[in-house]
Amino acid sequence: MQALGCQLERARRGESEAMSMLYRQFLPGVFGYIAARVPDRATAEDLTSEVFLKMVEGISQLRATDEAGFAAWLLQIARFTVAGYYRKRERLPVLVSLAPSAQEEEAGGDSEALLRSPPSQDPAARAETHDEWNTVVSAINTLTEEQRQVLVGRLILGYDLATVARMIGKKANAVKALQFRALHSLHRLLEKQGWPEQASHVQTRQRGGKP
Amino acid sequence: MKPLSQRLNDQLERGGKRIRNSGEAPGWLASPLQAESPDPEVDELVALARHVQSHPHLHAYPDFADLLERRLLMHHASLNRKQPGRQRFVPRLWQAHPALGIALGICLLVLLLGTGMLVAAAQVTNPANPLSVIKHWEQHVQVSLTNSPENRAEWDLQAAREQLDRLAGLANAAHEEAYLPALSAFNQQVRGAESAIQALPAGPHRERLSNELTALDVEARHTLRGWLPQLDVPQRLITTDELGRLGDRVPHLLSIAIVLSAPANEQATISISGDNIQPGAQLLVDGQIMEAQGTYQDGLSVFTINWSGSQHPASIGILNPDDTAAQTTVITMTSLTNGSNGNNGEHGNGKNGRKPTRTPPPHH
């Protein structure tokens, strides 16, 4: 915590190295949060870039001095960015595109995406993973913002209860309850969609076995 | 049994430690937690958590992370290039012109000290405080800047009110030295306000200010009377004088006659005549309360006291039961020792007089 406070201070003063360290530390959390909210990786990457650019622009005005405060600030930017993405999408007319679909694009629609894709997965496995993940994303989007932040803090950033409590401004017991309710709701929603069988199938395919 | 949320949290933390210790990938189906735990509901949630946690979609690819980092650093550098001047103006000035920087710093320091001193002086109540000189200067400047007679009268009245407020903090035996000049300053301010109001042309403004002055007089009388019991004798004497000036009924001594009896008796009879002397008043000799038997009749108080020593008293006074006090130095002394009504004269020369026996003043 103390070290992050120093990094924050240095980043506020405009030191690039500190900015890089903050970015590397919080990329998994921000990307995980966004990827859990949007259906495809390309969008998650675009929105993650947007969040970190806003971080660079706004860090000099930031008042937070500890890790929990900084994480809360960054996730708030991420939340607004995702909300903005969905608002824009609502305004767009629904078009039937002849261009490759999101999963097709992810699977190799352009050379950059091809480079980024993990080489171990075959296209069929990726498509199944994508479908399965879409189900998870839909379920995660029905959670409350606090529940989502608790899941990100606990599962992706790996924070303890006390840090997540500071991050969302609640007590540790409330975080426990939010964590339980989040996973319980997620489980209930996914069960309706055939989870865990679907996930089991995907995981088996990912390991290279037969479903 | 622990609540579900607690059990879930315990399982998640145990699983997290196990994964961290063993370095194994958190696969949700292969998790050994399921086999060990007798809590299927919690196990399902833990499995779901592990599944979400390890899902490849939640993890950024390294090449994307590197690209974004480079992009961020470029953006950061371009931002730094755009806004360097505003942030670093003072350090640059300091480096370029150190003398100018020092002069600027000294000016700021002087300005701060001066302002602080003026503010501190405005709060001073004790006239003995060195800052009171600055305060008087501030007041003088304020008065001289007030050019219209109406404003000046208003200002005098306001100053008198403030002085009365400040007096409240000094109205006790511990602040005797500060109280007397402060009361005198209050008196001057009331008189100043009075003259300023009288100098105004007749009209509603003057009438309003006259009413305010009358209200201040009434308030001051009430306040000063309230303080009397907690004051020392010298403070009570000057406060009584002030009450008199404010139009209150206070004692006023007209004449003091001391008749000394034969030396063997060592007795003196002190007759005090005056206005507003109350029955039960105590005798003051040289500002000290004396043990004396007294009678009161038709505005004349007569006290009989033990008299020893040879000095003529400098002052004789009375302390009324309502704590107002008055004294005078105009004393007529008569001795019966030489067989005649010999008069030692006013302000007695003290040659044949004897010093009275004093009792210590009461503690307030």
- Best CA proximity match to B140, nearest among B189, B182, B178, B191: B189
pLDDT for B126-185, tens place per residue?
A: 655 677 677 767 766 776 666 677 777 888 888 888 888 888 888 887 787 788 888 888
A23 interfacial to chain B (CB closer than 8 Å): yes
Q: Do A176 and B6 touch (CB under 8 A)?
A: yes
Report the complex ipTM: 0.75
Question: What residue of A is the nearest CA neighbor of B47?
Answer: A196
Please provide the average confidence, as pLDDT, over all residues in chain B: 77
pLDDT at A124 over 60: yes
Establish if A45 touches chain B: CB-CB under 8 angstroms: yes
Is the Cβ of A187 closer than 8 Å to some Cβ of chain B? yes
| Structural domain of A53 | 2-207
- A155 backbone dihedrals φ, ψ, rounded to 5°: -90, -35
Q: State residue A194's pLDDT score.
A: 72
Could you tell me the maximum CA-CA distance found in chain B, to the nearest angstrom?
133
Residues of chain A found within 8 Å of residue B80, distances taken between Cβ atoms: 14
Closest B-chain CA to A33: B58
Cβ-defined contact of B59 to A136 (cutoff 8 Å): no
User: What whole-number distance in Å separates Cα of residue B42 and Cα of residue B4?
Assistant: 7
Regarding predicted confidence, which is higher, B132 or B194? B194
Residue A64's domain is classified under what CATH number? 1.10.1740.10
Q: Do A116 and B61 touch (CB under 8 A)?
A: yes
Contact A190 B48 (CB under 8 A): yes
Per-residue pLDDT of B40-57, as tens digits, reads: 888 888 888 888 888 888
Crossing angle between the packed helical segments B4-22 and B40-54, to the nearest 10 degrees: 50
- A136 with B55: Cβ contact below 8 A: yes
Percent of chain B with pLDDT over 90: 9
Name every chain B residue with its beta carbon within 8 A of the beta carbon of A37: none
Tokens 């400040």 belong to residue:
B166
pLDDT tier for residue A9 given thresholds of 50, 70 and 90: confident
Reported as type and span, the H/E element at residue B295 is: strand B293-297
Split at pLDDT 50, 70, 90, the class of A210 is very low
DSSP string, A33-64: HHHTTSSSHHHHHHHHHHHHHHHHHHGGG---
Structure tokens at B109: 């320091």
β-pairing, B282-285 with B316-319? antiparallel
Test B8 with A19 for CB contact under 8 angstroms: no
- CB distance B13 to B6 below 8 Å: no
To the nearest whole Å, the CA of B85 is away from the closest chain A CA by 14
Whether A186 and B72 lie within 8 Å, measured CB to CB: no
Q: Which residues of B touch A45 (CB under 8 A)?
A: 60, 64, 68
The pLDDT of residue A89 = 81
A30, A45, A56: best mutation site toward chain B, by most B Cβ within 10 Å? A56
**What's the predicted TM-score (pTM) here?**
0.45
Tally of domains in chain A = 1
Q: Do A52 and B72 touch (CB under 8 A)?
A: yes
Closest residue in chain A to residue B41, using alpha carbons only: A184
What pLDDT sits at residue A127?
66
Task: Using the Cα atoms of residue B36, residue B40, residue B41 and residue B45 in order, give the sign of their dihedral.
Answer: positive
Q: Please indicate whether, in this complex, the C-beta atoms of B6 and A155 are within 8 angstroms of each other.
A: no
Minimal Cα distance from B87: which residue of A? A13
